[in-house]
Amino acid sequence: MASIGENIKLYRERVNMSQEDLALKIRVGAARIESYESGEQIPTKETILKISTVLDIPASEIMDTRAL
């Protein structure tokens, strides 16, 4: 099963965006994006919405933890 963090990384990489770029766009530190992608932290629903807006995907795609 994919995790929320793995989904963030997958969709971020699909648009050729660095962790730093995503962090700047949602106004957090790059270390925060790393912690989401590694599974150390789980983003809030508000943060998931921000990420989905920046990556131009539905928030449900990030939260879908079924196997890709």
Q: What is the pLDDT of residue 38?
A: 97
Say what the pLDDT of residue 67 is.
54
Q: pLDDT tens for residues 9-52?
A: 999 999 999 999 999 999 999 999 999 999 999 999 999 999 99
Assess contact for 39 and 3: CB atoms under 8 A: yes
- Residue 65: pLDDT band (50, 70, 90) is confident
For the chain, what are the domain ranges? 4-55
Element at 48 (helix H, strand E)? helix 45-55
Per the document, the length of the chain is 68
Q: Topology of domain 4-55, per CATH?
A: 434 Repressor (Amino-terminal Domain) (1.10.260)
Question: How many Cα atoms sit within 13 Å of 68 on the Cβ side?
Answer: 14
Output the pLDDT for position 25.
98
